Chain A
């Protein structure tokens, strides 16, 4: 069962924690196109936070094309666009704490094995005692253009 976790004491705003975790789950296939997210009111009650916080996270996810909101169905993980493979880098990859999602932000499958390699990287980093922040810094560093 897919779950998300927020840290109210974190310097990262709670809405951003929700947004980045949903984006990350979509990136690794934990959430697939057509999956329904809980209603913002329900998720807010479950987490004991304000409804507006969840609504803001959902709005941001919708703006980046990760989810769509339908009147009767609610918030649903969006279908990946047909233009996948264009090499475009999503906005998430550029944001601190964000998740690289591949073209247009939401790959639904792992045809190139990148998700498996990312998991292997995380496993190796944890074996070597690296923190999650250190792993993220490593990936962000690798995303930067080489200056030499």
Chain B
């Protein structure tokens, strides 16, 4: 069974990424004029995004379905599904970014602007990092507060003299068994997202496009990378928080339970909204464009 899991976890994304590469491979030669180049570039970007989204949904459905894959303790694969989907999404984007045309021709142009992952990521980057850090902290707290059986949370009621009167326990609760693999997967997702953003940032300008139009397509790519990663990580965070909220509310830990429930709703709705805002293409000259040139930081 482990072999089947390995084949699905590693093979399915590899197969999907291969399909993406084939899908985004330029067919019919390079466009000849400016307008055709803009259209071709936007189409290429949309194809990468659509293929990456499709690949990530497929991998999440495969991992989240017990009829397809069963492995490890109950719930581990289901808990990992959003992160594997995010990984697939970012790897697909990374693969697609390498398929943009390289500089060719005798006349070449380049913007005299320093591009950085931070500039290209814009406001979505700190939001994504904040979500990931918040989820990591929550997983650590859940691991530390889980009961000894590893699957539940306990509330011990004691008398005034410190004598244990009764013990309430409820589960499932995201303990280390669930949270540990999720933490590792989350770390991988953050790393792969940064790699995909780096690929977007370092991609050479598209020939025939003005610097402003190239920048707009680049910002579209960066927004979609972060939008996809945010959606899956937010979904994962919402799932873990909802499970924890359910267990905490059943043992009458009202404050903790309600806080987790509220955070789950915020993570779910907020991440989907952020992902939705990344769907539209950025236009040249939009307000969130990178500055004309980046001023130097004060020297230390």
Residue of B108, B114, B300 touching A37 (CB-CB under 8 A): B114
Which residues of B in the span 184-237 have a Cβ within 8 Å of any Cβ on A? 202, 204-205, 210-212, 215
Say whether chain A's binding surface is mostly helix, strand, loop, or mixed.
mixed
Residue pair B292, A34 in contact (C-beta under 8 Å): no
Contacts of A7 in B (CB 8 A): 106-107
Q: Which residues of B contact A47 (CB under 8 A)?
A: 103, 108-110, 204
Does A73 have its Cβ within 8 Å of any Cβ on chain B? yes
Given A1-B211, A72-B300, answer yes or no on A6-B114 (Cβ-Cβ < 8 Å): no
B108: A residues at CB distance < 8 A:
5-6, 8, 47-49
Taking a contact as CB atoms under 8 Å apart, the answer to whether A42 and B211 are in contact is no
- Does B102 sit within 8 A of A, measured CB to CB? yes
The chain A residue sitting closest to B107, CB to CB, is: A7
Q: Is the interface of B mostly helix, strand, loop or mixed?
A: loop
A71 nearest in chain B by CB position: B299
Instruction: Give every chain B residue within 8 A of A25 (Cβ-Cβ).
Output: 112
| Min CB gap B101→A, angstroms | 10
**Number of interchain pairs (Cβ within 8 Å):** 94
Contact for B112 among A3, A8, A34, CB less than 8 A: A3
Q: Are A4 and B299 in contact (CB under 8 A)?
A: no
B104 partner, pick from A2, A5, A37, A48, beta carbons under 8 A = A48
Nearest Cβ distance between residue B226 and chain A, in whole angstroms?
21
Q: Please indicate the chain B residues that have their CB under 8 angstroms from the CB of A148 in the complex.
A: none
Q: Does B165 contact A (CB under 8 A)?
A: no
**How far apart sit A46 and B207, CA to CA, in the bound complex (Å)?**
10
Determine the chain B residues whose CB is within 8 A of the CB of A6 once the complex forms.
107-109
For this complex, 6 residue pairs linking A to B, each with C-beta atoms less than 8 Å apart, are A3-B111, A6-B107, A8-B108, A32-B293, A42-B202, A46-B205
